[in-house]
Amino acid sequence: AEKTPILEMRNVVSAYGRIQALKGISLKVYDGEIVSIIGANGAGKSTTLMTICNIVKAVQGDILYRGERINNVNSDILPTMGLCQVPEGRRIFPRLTVLENLDMGAFFRTDAGGVKDDVERVFDLFPKLRERRKQLGGTLSGGEQQMLAMARALMSRPKVLLLDEPSMGLAPLLVKQIFDIVKMINEQGVTVVLVEQNANLALQAASRGYVLETGNVVMEDDAKKLLANPDIRKAYLGE
Ligand code: ATP
C-alpha cells in the first residue's frame, strides 16, 4: 500500500472574488521531503500556500494534513497542529526585539524549558540572530528579517514548514545561506514545502517539484528530472 502523505491537496479550487486562482490543484507531500512549487508570476504559487493555511478559502476540493481534512481549521490553529507558514514579505513584528519575536512563535506552548532550549537551537542555526537578540525586528536587514521569520516559525516546532519565496529580495550570498539553512532544517526532521521564483535553487534543494501554470499543476516529477527537462530549463531556468 502507498504511504499516506503528510499533506495533500485534492482537486482544490480557490478564488479571489470571481477570479479563480487555483483551478483544481492536486499535490502530495510526504514526511521528510522538501517539495518545491515553481511557476511564473501569478501562476498561483502563493495562493496554494495560503489556501493550505485557510487564509484563502478553498471553494472546492480537500486539504488533508496527517490524514485529517483541514479545510475548515482556522489559520491561527494550524501552527499548534504542526503546520506553519512563513509568508512572503516576512511579516515579523518590527517593534518587538528578536527574542520577543521568537517568543511569539511559541505563544501557545506551555513547556517553558523546551521553548528556552529551542531559542538556543534556532540561534545555533542563525548565529546572526543571537548577536542581535535584543535589537528591534524592524532594524534588521532584509536577510536577517527573513531569518527571523523562519526562526520564529521553527519556535512552533513545526512538522511541516511552508515557505513562501524565502529568497525574495536577497543578495545572492544570502540566498545561498537561506537555502543551506532550509536543507539543515529539513535534515532535522521538518518537512518543507518551498514556493520559489528562483526555480533553479528551489529544485536543487528539493526531492520533488510541482510546476504551476495559471492555477493548474502542469508537471510534477523528481526535482532532478525537472532540472534536466529541456522545456523546464527553457521556461523557468532562463535558458
Ligand atoms: P507571485 O510570485 O507573483 O506571487 P504566484 O505564482 O505566487 O505569483 P499568486 O500570487 O498566487 O501567484 O496569484 C495567482 C493569481 O491570483 C494571479 O492571477 C493574481 O493576480 C491573483 N491574485 C493574487 N492575490 C490576489 C488578491 N489579493 N486579489 C485578487 N487577485 C489576486
Tens of pLDDT along 66-111? 999 999 999 999 999 999 999 887 789 999 999 999 999 998 889 9
Reduced 3-state DSSP string for the chain? CCCCCCEEEEEEEEEECCEEEEEEEEEEECCCCEEEEEECCCCCHHHHHHHHCCCCCEEEEEEEECCEECCCCCCCCHHHHCEEEECCCCCCCCCCEHHHHHHHHCCCCCCHHHHHHHHHHHHHHCHHHHHCCCCEHHHCCHHHHHHHHHHHHHCCCCCEEEEECCCCCCCHHHHHHHHHHHHHHHHCCCEEEEECCCHHHHHHHCCEEEEEECCEEEEEEEHHHHHHCHHHHHHHCCC
Centre of ligand 1 to C-alpha 216, Å, is: 13
pLDDT band at 173 (very low <50, low <70, confident <90, very high): confident
Per-residue model confidence (pLDDT) at position 91: 83
Per-residue model confidence (pLDDT) at position 63: 98
pTM over 0.90: yes
Q: Is the pLDDT of residue 237 over 70?
A: yes
Ligand 1 binding pocket, CB closer than 6 Å: 16, 19, 21, 39, 41-47, 197
Which pLDDT tens digit goes with each residue over 192-201?
999 998 899 9
Per-residue model confidence (pLDDT) at position 169: 82
Q: Is the pLDDT of residue 1 over 70?
A: no
Atom of ligand 1 nearest to the CA of 50: 11
Per-residue model confidence (pLDDT) at position 168: 85
Residue in the structure block whose three cell numbers are 543551506? 180
Centre of ligand 1 to C-alpha 121, Å, is: 35
Q: Is the pLDDT of residue 239 over 90?
A: no
Nearest residue (by CA) to ligand 1, atom 19, is 42
Which pLDDT tens digit goes with each residue over 9-55?
999 999 999 899 999 999 999 999 999 999 998 999 999 999 999 99
Cα gap 223→185, rounded to integer Å? 19
Per-residue model confidence (pLDDT) at position 11: 98
Pocket test for ligand 1, best of 22, 37, 46 (most atoms within 8 A of CB): 46
Reduced 3-state DSSP string for 92-105? CCCCCEHHHHHHHH
Mean pLDDT over each residue of the chain, to the nearest integer: 94
Q: Is the pLDDT of residue 174 over 90?
A: no
Which pLDDT tens digit goes with each residue over 102-153?
999 998 889 989 999 999 999 999 999 999 999 999 999 988 999 999 999 9
Centre of ligand 1 to C-alpha 143, Å, is: 24
Helix axes 112-125, 142-154, angle to 10 degrees: 140
Could you tell me the three cell numbers for 64?
488533508
